[in-house]
Amino acid sequence: MNQIKQIIYSTKNNLSKITKIIFGSLFIVFVYSYFIAEKSFVSDSKLFVYGNTSSVSELKSLALQYGVSLPGGGDKSNFDSPELFINLGKSREVLNQVLNGNFLLSNDEEIHLETYLAKGKKPPKQEILINFNRKISISLDRRSGVISMSVSMNDPKLAMEVHKELIDIINGRFVNIKKLQTTEKKEFIQERIKALEIDLNNSEKAIKEFKELNRLISSSPELTLKLNRLNRDNKVIEQIFILLKEQLESTKIEEIENAKPLIIIDNPNIPYKKSSPTTVYNLIYTFLVISLISIYYFFVKESNNRRIND
């Protein structure tokens, strides 16, 4: 209790000094936050990847049944579309392509992004890539499948323009990858259909020839058994042939879906206010911290003076 009284007494004695220190600190923080510190504007968007995931997994059992392997190893072609989109957004190739673009600032000045981010210096390319990567945020809500994306820049128009370009480039690469997967799948199916057409024709021809050579099949158990085997083999080939025909039609539909897989829920916006530095919060934190430090400083100082005097 004695110490609390001493703190209150010390604060009253040095109130004018403490006030000057606090207001001086607040002024410095205000000038730095408002005029000197680099401002950050964040452009947000929400996206959704349309369509089923491109995969040849549904053909695995069919391929194994017929003794063939899928192109590209089957499993390697299995991608989850939203996650693929997110991974592309952080890839070096995509970031490099954006960095090499020209964009407009709010004052309509055209800048080269990589040169602009270098700020007149000549840092290594890898350093610019890392810094640019930190300005991009991409996350996936697994329950809804919605992708949230944001780009932070020190100019509001630049943030929006870079954001739009990034989405366009990612979408372009995303479409190309999906097309490649669908093409491999389609080629595999078409090759199998051609081979099965030959096998189906040979099977039907074998049944026809067997019936022509054996007119009294019903009276011979051995001939009936052989005919049943021929019919069974023919039916298996026919079922696989029909299944592949259905898969070919599905793949053609998938090609159309993959042409425009991205749905933009919220377009990239021009930020109407800066996200950082937050001047108000900085001033509040400064006021609290400097007040406590000042009060503590003068309390300790007076305590030391009292000990010396005693």
pLDDT digits (tens, 9 = 90+) for 99-109: 999 999 989 99
Range of weakest confidence among 17-21, 100-104, 238-242, 273-277: 273-277
% of the chain at pLDDT higher than 90: 22
**In order of start, what are the domains of the chain with their CATH numbers?**
40-185+261-293 (3.30.1890.10)
Q: What are the C-alpha distances in Å from 309 to residues 302, 303, 304, 305, 306?
A: 10, 10, 9, 6, 5
Count other C-beta atoms under 10 Å from residue 7's C-beta: 16
Calculate mean pLDDT across residues 60-69: 45
Q: Is the pLDDT reported for residue 22 higher than 80?
A: yes
Whole-number pLDDT of residue 257: 64
Q: Is the pLDDT reported for residue 81 higher than 90?
A: no
Count other C-beta atoms under 10 Å from residue 306's C-beta: 10
Q: Is the pLDDT reported for residue 71 higher than 60?
A: no
Q: Is the pLDDT reported for residue 270 higher than 60?
A: yes
Task: Decide: 187 and 89 in contact? Cβ < 8 Å.
Answer: no
Q: Which residue has the tokens 């096998």?
A: 199
Q: Is the pLDDT reported for residue 268 higher than 60?
A: yes
Q: Supply the pTM of this predicted model.
A: 0.59
Q: Is the pLDDT reported for residue 139 higher than 80?
A: yes
